[in-house]
Structure 1
Amino acid sequence: MSAMRNSNWDRRTVLRAAMGLAAAGGLAACGGNNGRGGGSGSGKNLVQYFHAYGEQGTEQAIKRYAKAYKDANVSTQWITGENFESKLFSALLTDKAPDLFEFHPQIQLIRSGQVADLTDIIDPVKDDFNQADIASHTVDGKIYGVRMIDDPQFFFYRKSLLEKANVEVPQTLDELIEAAAKLTTDKVKGLFLGNELDPIARPLIWAAGADTLDEKNEIAYHTDGVREGLVKLRKLFTSGDLLLGAPTDFWDPSALNQGLTAIQWCGMWAMPAMQEALGDDLGIFPFPKVTDTGKPSVYNGGWSMFVNAKSKNVEAAKEYVKWLWIDQKEYQEDWSLSYGFHIPPRTSLAESADKLKSGLPAEGVKLFNEYGHFDNIGFTQAMLDAVEDVLGDCVRDNGDPEAALDKADGKVNRELKKLFG
C-alpha cells in the first residue's frame, strides 16, 4: 500500500496536472464508465478512486468495506496501469469525476476549491490522530483530508551479507558508501536507492540537517550540507556499487529478496514479503546523517481520503468518509495491518496493533517515531520535481551542485509566489 505500487509507475507525473487543473482540461476522462450505474441523482450513488495497490487482497478489502455501508451505493474505480494521478486529475475536470478519492495533502487542491473541508467530521476525534498527520492536512485551521495509512521508508538489509563482509550498520552517508563498496561482488550490488534516485531526495535533505521549506514557506534545502551530500552521492553513483536499472523499482522488495542487492531503500509496506522471503536475515536503518550537524531521517509516505468539493454529493461523500475512516476502527485496522505493514494514523489503533509490537515491525515504528518526517502541504509536487531534478543534474549527470540548486530555487520560488504571494 505504498505510494508507489504499479510497475509502470511514472514518478514524474504525480501532480503535473494538479499545479493547475485547467491545464489538463484537454485530457480525456478515465474511461467512459464512472461506475455510477446510471445514477439516480438522489445523492445515494458514490464513486471513489483508488490506485492499484500491489498487496494481494487490497482491492477486495476496499470493495468489501464499501458493500457494508448501508446509506449509499459506493462503487470503486480501482485504477491500474500508468499514472493514477493524471487519470484522477483528468477525471476531476469532467462530469465523470469521483465523489471521493485517495491522494496526498497538496495545498493547491485546497486553493483551487477542489477538496472539501472535513474539519467537522475529524474535529471530534482529532486528538486520536497522529498530530503530524493532522498538521500535514491543515490549512488556515481547517482540515482537508483523513489519513488512512502512514508508510515509513528506510533501508532494509541482509544481515548475513553485512556480517560476511564485516560491515557495521552505517551511521553516516560516508559509511553507507563504504559499506556499498565492501558489499558489492560480481553477483550482488551493495546498494539500491531506486531506479531514479528520486525517493531519497527528501531523506537526503533532512539527513543533512535541512528541510524542504521553513515555517515562513521559504526555501530551506539549499545548504552546504545538502550540497555536500550531493557530491557524495555522485561519488557513489559512479562507483559501480549501486544497483541501477533493476527490473522493479524501490517500492517492490524484489531487488533485496532476489539477491540483486545487499541494502535497499523501501517502505514498511514490504516488510511482510521480505520477512517471508528472508526470515530473520533482515534488518532496517534510517537514511544516515549526511553531515555532523545532520540527523538520520525516515520519510513517512502514505495515503489520505479526500472529498471532491465539486461533487453533487458532497455531504453523502463526507458521511461515507466519516463512517469508514473515522467510525469503523475494525476496517481501519484491517487496512493497515492485513495487506503489508502500515502504521495506523489513529493513535489508539497504533497502540493496540499487536503485529507492530515486536521484532522488526516494532523497530520500524521506533524509527518512524524518532526520525519520521511528514509531507509539508505547502511543498507541492512541482517543487518536489524541481528538487528531484537536482539529483538528476548533479548525481546522474555530474553537473555543478550549486548551479543545480540555483536552478531548483528558481522553479520553487515561482511556485511559492503563486501560492503564498
Structure 2
Amino acid sequence: MMNSFFNFIDLHNGEEKREKVLENVISNISFRGSNLWILACAIIIASVGLNVNSTAVIIGAMLISPLMGPIVGAGFALGTYNFPLLKKSMKNLLIATVVSLTVSAFYFYISPFKDVQSELLARTSPNIYDVLIAFFGGLVGIIAITRVEKGNPIPGVAIATALMPPLCTAGFGLATSNYSYFFGAFYLYIINCFFICIATFFVVKYLKYPSVIIDSVYEKRIRYGISALILVMIVPSFYLAYNLFNEKKFIKTAELFIQKEFDNKGYTIVYKKLNYNSSPKSIDLAFLNKKFNPQEIASYNKILVDNGLSDTKFIVRQSSEDVKSEILNEINKNIVNVSAKDIAISKLRQELDGYKISDSTLLYEIKAIYPSVHNISYGKIEEYPKTDSARLSFVLMYSGKMANKEQFKNWLEIRLHEKDVKLIENPKE
C-alpha cells in the first residue's frame, strides 16, 4: 500500500531525459542578442503597467520576460556542483539585472507621471508570504522543466514569482531618488531569485542528477552557505510580515473604534486617515457638523487605550480651511478614479456599438417584401479573413424558400449600408 502511494507521487514518473533537461537549462541562461532585446522590451512594458496601474499589462510583461533562465541555471548548477555553469548563470543574471534597472530607471526618469500607484507600492514591502510564493513557484518551475510533457505551469510560474515588477519598482526608486522604495523592491527581487534557485536545488538533489564534482568538503560548504543565506533572507521577511500583521490589526481596531464612537451615534465623517507609520500612530478625522472641545478630544484619547489602541493619537480637523483642503484632495482622488472608469466604460460602449443593429423596422420590411421568409435572426459576427485582424460582417439566418437570393442580398447591403452581407439558410427547414 505504501509502495503504491510513493509510486503515485514519485517525480521520476514522466521525467525527461537528463541530457535534454541540461541542454534546455543551458540554452536559456545566456543574455545575448534577442534575449536582451526581449528583456528590455518586457521591462518597458512592466514599467508602463506600473506607471498606469494596469495589472493586465504587468502580467503580460511577466509572461514574456526571460529572467527565469539564469536563476534556474544557478539552482541547477548548485544541485550538480557545476561551478562553471554557476559562474555563467550568475554572470548572466547580473547582466540582466543591471540592464533591467537601467532601462526601468531611464523610463521612469523621462516619464511625466511619477505618482506612486497601488501596483508599484505593493512591491516595496516584501514579507514571508513572498518567500513562500517564490519557493513554491520555483518548485513548480523546475518540476515542469524536468517533465517530458511541459504542460502550462511555466507561464503561471512567471506570473506568480513576479520577477519583473520588483525590478521596475527598484528602477522607479532610483529615478525618483526614493531609496526606501529601491531597497524594498530590490530585496523582494533578491528573495524571488534566491528561493527559486533554492527550490531548483532541492528538486535537482531529489531527482539525483549526477554531480560534476564529487567532494564531501565542497558539498558541506555549499549546504552551510545555503543554510546561512536562507536565514539572512527569511529573518527580515518575518519582521516585515509581523509589521504588516500589526498594521492590519491597527486598522481593524481603529475602524471598530470609529464605528462604535461616531458612526453608531450618527456623526457624519467627511475625512478619515489612519496613520500606522507615524509616531505615535494617529486617527485623523473631520466631521460635517460636530465640533469637539479640547476636553472631549482628551477623553477620546484616553478611550483609545481601553479599545486596544495604545500609542495612538486622536486628531480632529475642525478648522474650515483644513477640512476644505482635505475634502478637495479626496474629491480629486475620486475624480481620477471615476475618470479612468468612465474611459473604460466608453471604450466598451464603442465596441458594443459596432455589434449593435438599432433598426426596429428591418424585420417588418423583410416580411413585407419577402413573405415566404420566416424564422429570421440576424446580427454581426467577427471574421478573420486569413489575417490576424478581425472585421465585422452582417449575417442573416432564415427559413423558407427564396426565389432570388442574390436580389435579397443586394437589397440588404443597400438597406443596411453594409459591403458584404452573409445569408445562411436554416438547414432544418
Q: Which bin holds the TM-score, normalised by the shorter protein?
A: under 0.3
Could you say which structure has the larger radius of gyration?
A: 2
- Bigger share in helix: 2
Please report the TM-score for the alignment, with normalisation by the length of structure 2: 0.20
Please report the TM-score for the alignment, with normalisation by the length of structure 1: 0.20
- Bigger share in strand: 1
- Bigger RCO of structures 1 and 2 (CA < 8 A, at least 6 apart): 1
